[in-house]
Structure 1
């Protein structure tokens, strides 16, 4: 039996079961071919209102369920996802343009999020406090309530479940709004997994939708928290709106990440990691290396090696071909990437490799002569572009790396782990890797950034309890 049954659920949203939304439907298009893959339902403001109200009604009963029972639902969900890995991988490849390796990694990582979340109900969730009056005084963590999750198209399944799974495990109800471009792998799959796992009706609602639906979810008085993953520009708007309503908000936003190559680095290894960091999933991840900051002594060798990786990469349809890169998500994204490349070249950057496209297939691109004034330095490109900035020494490398409003991740390539650790102290990012690519994440780490990259380390098993619950102080008579 398939997990995703579009003959039954196509054109519908998951809200009190699968139903026809007032918001109508939209087509899901395969980026590589332009083929229409599915018709999916989209929610409007009225659909969001119905979903939030229903979630709020269902939440107290879900919270009251014994912790082992909630944990069991999460474990069953993980088993369902693992059982249907090949089906979900196909949707990720065809719907989001993922190459097979990325899609398989995403499903495995999403399953990890479910397994990790299944442990959360079993953790201690309170403290016994001293009390001057001799009462029983307890501080305990209780669910936030109803959590609105707005997830993106680039890593649609994982970045939905990274919030949905722990929020549910800790006793909250959830309304998920996935991007309509990946409504199947980022929405229908999530709904189907939890439906098959036996999650009580009304606790989870999944409604794809555009900006209107997202704004309705953020503004709704019934949502107690918003978890958003996406662009910094939209994140700022959501933060302002949610903050004005005094509701909790988790923002995991963009990045303009630096990969620093010092004069004692293994240049071959650094260039391989640099290519991976900029070209993985066509550069369409927040952790992509947007700036390669290379000490002058090794710059020529690094650029030559990076260009070889770019020239040898195969770009094409990831469903029908063995390729290293697939398509960009749509024409708007293709045109944005190309604009940044063309404007940077016009302003003085040199095109060393790539810079061309066939439809949505954009060649891996290497730019040199990049300076802080150029668009390729300032903007988050979100495409397979590696801008190279040459610096005199490590002090200049650090200064240039910190010359951005973003603060998500940096990587340092050096022959000395001690030197790399010392440099990490000087980098204004939430994550630093020494001799590893910028693209890295798992369910067990405190993932998050600073500045325009978000409002802190909101994800990871060690942070989930404080993120999706709140303190309640409870006192009881000593003899009670």
Structure 2
């Protein structure tokens, strides 16, 4: 089994065969263990405990017991814990980024971004306890009436494999900041990046025992977390198919649920666009992190007059991107997360070519390394046009009028991210205003998140909830209306 350099946060012996939390906030043995496989090499990277439903039930009970004291802690003290956690990440950024690159298969620059952004998320969350927590309402004489924000109690967080540290921390940090306890179930493919590193930084930061529980697990553990009576809210990030199941189960138990799901995101390139700039944006949106991003550019809808030339530039980009082990620091494209994901992408590409799409570049793979691929002449009804691919595949579809571009972009059940590139700002903005999406970028590309923005989609991309920035206080707390009279009075009864 491969080892990495040990430091205060990376400690394989700490989590080997273990879960984190319980009533006393320690690392305790799990009944099951699992090797974590490095996608680039196929070799075991580390070993962790694997949680089942019974483990989750114990963890939610422990979190519920610890939560009231955490919520009662002075706001400045809660904020200080979050700031210390951020400092721990910042101190060990290079080592943590190297580990994340290996566990996720993402390039080193992406891993460095994850650590830096997770620290930023903690700094932002540290400000939440010091914000106004309610409002005074008008009422009758002799009665004070106000509404205040109160914690849900226990927040369950279910996070994915692609940006595991960021996509876990964006819920864990504000949920803790607003006085909740958290039970985190990271994807078992990336349990350290998405879970145990977070446990380690909060251990160092002095988070009280029991307030954070970390349990990597499969679908049965996730279902137990959603159903647990102690859990007041679920924050889920993952596929639309899995999100539908989570939303259905949460609804059955009458829980608040935040769903951040998949996307089939469109970049519209107008005929007055700078093609070198447009190709750069399109390539980044389609190929970054092997296209394994909910915001990935799933369609490039280009004006017919420039579509062929834009495609040519995309082919040059695809053929020039080095593919290999991301830990080397010398590649742009790493491996897919697993064979199932690769086979799904390969099937979509093959089916689309059989339906008439033109394979301009790529379309082949070696082990888990899928070469950057460009498809042209892609039309509605083809799998590459309709389905989220989650692989490094650029899909080019021509259009003739702005109305047609809008129609093509909106012809999807998803509604996460869209972008428009063109020289006329008024034209690009007018077109963008007609796109049905939660994130809109004029003269940008579809992959963008800055921590301070309310992030989320509509339709099959989510249930309309938002995470980040001004949305966090609303998301991770609930309103409570309070009235106070000096003396109780008789009623008419």
**TM category, shorter:** over 0.9
C-alpha distance in 1 between matches for 2:482 and 2:42: 58
Partner of 1:15: 21
Instruction: Give SS of 1:139's match.
Output: strand
C-alpha distance in 1 between matches for 2:306 and 2:465: 34
C-alpha distance in 1 between matches for 2:100 and 2:30: 27
Residue by residue over 1:360-410, the C-alpha shift from the partner in whole angstroms, topping out at 9 and shown as x without a partner, is 111000001111110101110000001111111211111000000000000
Contact 1:32/1:326 (<8 A) preserved = yes
Partner of 1:222: 230
Is 1:332 matched up with 2:337?
no
Instruction: Give SS of 2:327's match.
Output: coil
Instruction: Give SS of 2:407's match.
Output: helix
Moved more, 448-457 or 145-154: 448-457
Alignment of 1:213-292 (within 5 A): 213-292=221-300
Once the 2 structures are TM-superposed, how far is the Cα of residue 5 of structure 1 from its aligned partner?
Answer: 1.2
Cα RMSD, aligned residues only: 1.1
Contact 2:165/2:195 (<8 A) preserved = yes
Partner of 1:164: 172
Match of 2:8 among 2, 5, 9: 2
Instruction: Give SS of 1:337's match.
Output: helix
Is 1:442 matched up with 2:447?
no
Contact 1:9/1:18 (<8 A) preserved = no
Moved more, 442-451 or 19-28: 19-28
Partner of 2:183: 175
Once the 2 structures are TM-superposed, how far is the Cα of residue 120 of structure 1 from its aligned partner?
Answer: 0.2
Is 1:302 matched up with 2:302?
no
Alignment of 1:47-446 (within 5 A): 47-446=55-454
Moved more, 402-411 or 412-421: 412-421
Contact 1:23/1:47 (<8 A) preserved = no
Instruction: Give SS of 2:100's match.
Output: helix
Contact 1:311/1:353 (<8 A) preserved = yes
Partner of 2:471: 463
Residue by residue over 1:245-291, the C-alpha shift from the partner in whole angstroms, topping out at 9 and shown as x without a partner, is 11100000000000100111111100110000000000000000001
Contact 2:14/2:27 (<8 A) preserved = no
Aligned length: 480
Contact 1:89/1:107 (<8 A) preserved = yes
Once the 2 structures are TM-superposed, how far is the Cα of residue 2 of structure 1 from its aligned partner?
Answer: 2.6
Once the 2 structures are TM-superposed, how far is the Cα of residue 457 of structure 1 from its aligned partner?
Answer: 4.2
C-alpha distance in 2 between matches for 1:166 and 1:19: 24
Contact 1:20/1:41 (<8 A) preserved = no
Once the 2 structures are TM-superposed, how far is the Cα of residue 437 of structure 1 from its aligned partner?
Answer: 1.4
C-alpha distance in 1 between matches for 2:487 and 2:99: 59
Once the 2 structures are TM-superposed, how far is the Cα of residue 7 of structure 1 from its aligned partner?
Answer: 1.4
Once the 2 structures are TM-superposed, how far is the Cα of residue 460 of structure 1 from its aligned partner?
Answer: 1.2
Moved more, 468-477 or 275-284: 468-477
Moved more, 128-137 or 409-418: 128-137
Instruction: Give SS of 1:114's match.
Output: helix
C-alpha distance in 1 between matches for 2:14 and 2:162: 26
C-alpha distance in 2 between matches for 1:321 and 1:266: 30
TM-score (norm 1): 0.98
Once the 2 structures are TM-superposed, how far is the Cα of residue 195 of structure 1 from its aligned partner?
Answer: 0.7
Moved more, 401-410 or 19-28: 19-28
Residue by residue over 1:106-127, the C-alpha shift from the partner in whole angstroms, topping out at 9 and shown as x without a partner, is 1111111000000000000111
Instruction: Give SS of 1:110's match.
Output: helix
Contact 2:38/2:45 (<8 A) preserved = yes
Residue by residue over 1:327-361, the C-alpha shift from the partner in whole angstroms, topping out at 9 and shown as x without a partner, is 00011111011010011111111100000111111
TM-score (norm 2): 0.96
Match of 1:37 among 41, 45, 59: 45
